[in-house]
Amino acid sequence: MHNNNASELTLLKAQLIEQWHVEDDAFSGVALNEETLVGILAMRVLYLMQNKMDTLITALYRMDVGEQHFEIAMSASSQPKAAKKIAEAIYLRELQRVKSRMRFTQQQLDDGKDESGDWPQVIA
């Protein structure tokens, strides 16, 4: 498991809801941590594997999850195990994206831009 802070986990949750169409209700009453996010994502991946494999493959390609990860996952002994391995790969890739976005936002703030990406108004 990785040591992720609360803001990273919150952004990851938002990514899963937006990009992977995970229902917000799936997070009700559960602790927000890596294990929970991977588990919820694994259920979504399993659904896609069983009903929309082409959608899953396209999504993995677009987010640059390596073909090698996919092939290793698909060699698992069952679909639920394969779904969990794919979910772990997606989680790691989404985490990279979140951390990159956070660094970029911080860099913009350090360079004098506000959170919207615009330069702060000097003259009103």
How many structural domains comprise the chain?
1
- Is 53 a domain residue? yes
Q: 62 lies in a domain? A: yes
| Nearest one of 38, 37, 12 to 27, comparing CA atoms | 37
pLDDT in tens, 5-55: 888 999 999 989 988 999 999 999 999 999 999 999 999 999 999 999 999
118 in a domain, yes or no?
no
DSSP of 53-112: HHHHHHHHHHTT--HHHHHHHHTSSSHHHHHHHHHHHHHHHHHHHHHHHHHHHHHHHHTT
Is 0.75 topped by the overall pTM? yes
Average pLDDT, the chain: 85
- Residue 24, SS3 per DSSP: helix
Is 1 contained in some domain? no
Residue 122 falls within a domain, yes or no? no
pLDDT at 92: 92
pLDDT at 43: 96
Residue 120 has pLDDT above 50, yes or no: no
Judge whether 121 lies within some domain: no
107: confidence class by pLDDT, cuts 50, 70, 90: low
Structural domain harbouring 73: 6-110
How far is residue 78's CA from residue 72's CA, in Å, rounded to a whole number? 12
